[in-house]
Amino acid sequence: MNNRYKILIIEDEANILRFVAALLQAEDYFVITADTAEKGLLMFTSHRPDLVVLDLGLPDHDGTLLLQDIRKTSPVPVMVLSARSEEKDKVEALDMGANDYVTKPFGSREFVARVRSILRFNRHCAEEGKLGGKFTAGEMTIDYDARKFYIQDNEIKLTQTEFNIMALLSEHFGKVLTYSAISKEIWGYFDSGSTKKLQVNMANIRKKLSLKPGENKFIFNELGVGYRMHTDV
Ligand code: CA
């Protein structure tokens, strides 16, 4: 049986498609490709890949439409490729269920590291995840029932809101949650003051976790986009 990860790349720019395919093949992933949204959906349905790398600007349909179609039937991790001009679409794609994104042009090492981490987190969540009302990842433990957060065995005293934010991020471990997605979940709405309010809470959480400025342990800040929980950078 073939247990290599199967990755579907949907990208219309031939040089980027070749570049990404070669990178992933060099890492021994099994790569399949499509250059339109329509072909991408067909390939997705027939091959059931472990990860989809999705360009947002496709010639026939917008990549976000394809993402919506995929999400109707599958929780498969999706990594979005976006050009700088598609910043708004990138946030929209994350809110629609994309797991991560890279902005073109991107470096090969960064890209491969992100793919590896998505696949690892996905397996990690399937195997560990939420067991018996608890979440564990690296040094972090969250007891959902007792509403307590621990680093190693030390309890970190969080406010209700801070706990809710950490619990939410843990439920989407490894995935970027946008400011708007977090705010809607925590406060029930997203307005002009929400991002600031979220950032203030995050700053307090970081202080309690003894993180230095710029240190991205436990929580990674995707500048201008949102936050993701992880165990390493
Ligand atoms: Ca394109």
Q: What pLDDT tens digit does each residue of the chain (233 aa) get? A: 356 899 999 999 999 999 999 999 999 999 999 999 999 999 999 999 999 999 999 999 999 999 999 999 998 999 999 887 777 888 889 989 899 999 888 999 989 988 988 887 766 555 554 555 788 888 999 998 889 999 998 999 999 999 999 999 998 888 899 999 999 999 989 999 999 999 999 999 999 999 988 888 999 998 889 999 988 64
- Looking at the structure, tell me whether residues 112 and 200 fall in a common domain: no
Separation of 105 CA from ligand 1 center, angstroms?
Answer: 12
CATH of the domain at 95: 3.40.50.2300
- Looking at the structure, tell me whether residues 91 and 139 fall in a common domain: no
Question: Taking ligand 1, which is a single-atom ion, which protein residues have CB atoms under 5 Å away?
Answer: 12, 55, 57
Q: Which of 99, 126, 153 is the last residue of a domain?
A: 126
Domain-embedded: residue 1: no
Reported residue count of the chain is: 233
- Looking at the structure, tell me whether residues 122 and 33 fall in a common domain: yes
Could you give the dihedral angle defined by the CA atoms of residues 160, 161, 163 and 168, in that order, rounded to the nearest 10 degrees?
140
Separation of 113 CA from ligand 1 center, angstroms?
Answer: 22
- Looking at the structure, tell me whether residues 135 and 212 fall in a common domain: yes
- Looking at the structure, tell me whether residues 171 and 104 fall in a common domain: no
Domain extent at residue 104: 6-126
pLDDT of res. 4: 87
Separation of 145 CA from ligand 1 center, angstroms?
Answer: 45
- Looking at the structure, tell me whether residues 101 and 150 fall in a common domain: no
- Looking at the structure, tell me whether residues 122 and 157 fall in a common domain: no
Separation of 55 CA from ligand 1 center, angstroms?
Answer: 6
- Looking at the structure, tell me whether residues 107 and 178 fall in a common domain: no
Q: What's the rounded Cα separation, in Å, for the pair 2 and 228?
A: 31
- Residues 6 or more apart whose CB falls under 8 angstroms from that of 35 comprise 10, 11, 12, 14, 17, 59
- Looking at the structure, tell me whether residues 150 and 214 fall in a common domain: yes
Q: Which of 126, 155, 175 is the last residue of a domain?
A: 126
Separation of 181 CA from ligand 1 center, angstroms?
Answer: 26
Q: What's the rounded Cα separation, in Å, for the pair 173 and 186?
A: 16
Could you give the dihedral angle defined by the CA atoms of residues 97, 103, 108 and 109, in that order, rounded to the nearest 10 degrees?
-70
Domain-embedded: residue 83: yes
Domain-embedded: residue 118: yes
Give pTM, 2 decimals. 0.73
Separation of 62 CA from ligand 1 center, angstroms?
Answer: 9
- Looking at the structure, tell me whether residues 150 and 210 fall in a common domain: yes
Separation of 80 CA from ligand 1 center, angstroms?
Answer: 11
Separation of 13 CA from ligand 1 center, angstroms?
Answer: 6
Q: Report the candidate in 66, 50, 49 with the shortest Cα–Cα distance to residue 11.
A: 66
Q: How far apart are the first and last CA of the chain?
A: 32
- Looking at the structure, tell me whether residues 144 and 199 fall in a common domain: yes
Q: What's the rounded Cα separation, in Å, for the pair 147 and 42?
A: 44
Q: Which of 85, 107, 126 is the last residue of a domain?
A: 126
Q: SS3 for 8?
A: strand
- Looking at the structure, tell me whether residues 68 and 45 fall in a common domain: yes
Separation of 67 CA from ligand 1 center, angstroms?
Answer: 15
